[in-house]
Amino acid sequence: MNMKKKTAFILCAVLIISIVCVCALRSNYVLICGKIINRSATEVVLSGEELPDVEKLHRINELKTLDLREFDISLEFYEMLCAEFPGCEILWIVPFQGENWDNYATDITVTSMTPEYVDMLKYFPKLQSVDARQCRDYPALMELIAARPDLKVRYNVTLGAEVLQENATDCTVTNENVRTLLEMLPYLPELKTVTSDGCTDYDALMAIRDARPELSVHYSVVIGQTPRTADATALRLDIADAAEAVELLQYFPDLTEVTFEGPATNYDLMYQLKCRYPD
């Protein structure tokens, strides 16, 4: 009889100790995604097939960093976690342009840009530069640059066979690409010099000057088979070239004096010149 009492006493003690241990375990630890975590932990790394239970995460009293990079997390779930744990740093994989990016990436590559993509870059708090050299969505890239002046945005502007970087300071134009440059001027903010390589699209060259007065635009105008630099202030022309000059003198923005050599025989033409270019 005494042995039975002794055995019962031992079993009862074991049961009580087990209950106390379980209660202590439950009070100090929490089971999340199959992992036992101390409730006083400040950094937690989780993995598994199912997303962590938010209610259980709240049982971790001092949570400062939550690493969920092993999960496929939607933007909505991430936003919800940010709202639930405003003081917690959440590490996750951002689905962006069909690829998965660590949200702590410092450099990313894009092939397209939209206002929606510009907004999504807010999910990369450590981002320093964006490689957009394969992107041709220039208005959206300008929006990105304006919205995120802290980023280095690298992109290319293609002018026919010539490829310019976003910080290009000079370029060469031909008849084939001068109109393209005129269109792309807003995307070359550091451009300082434009040089013509035989370009005879004078209207486009003048339009470039008008669009960006601070630019140095170097080109020549052919009058009488002779190239004349467009920044000339005075010209000496053969009288035989007067008819051609009527149309071409407008492309010399700094011109103040023209001298025609040879006897004038077409006084009506001379009158047209004086009326069209009174200055």
pLDDT tens digit string along 154-165?
999 999 888 999
The model carries a pTM of 0.75
Give me the pLDDT at residue 8, please.
Answer: 53
Average pLDDT score over residue span 195-220? 95
- pLDDT over 90 for what percent of the chain? 67
Q: Poorest-confidence range of 31-35, 79-83, 108-112, 184-188?
A: 31-35
Q: Are strands 107-109 and 129-131 parallel, antiparallel or unpaired?
A: parallel
- Residues contacting residue 234 through CB under 8 Å, at least 6 positions apart: 255, 256, 257, 258, 259
Q: Poorest-confidence range of 196-205, 225-234, 255-264?
A: 255-264
At 261, the pLDDT band (50, 70, 90 cuts) reads confident
Give me the pLDDT at residue 25, please.
Answer: 46
Give me the pLDDT at residue 267, please.
Answer: 67
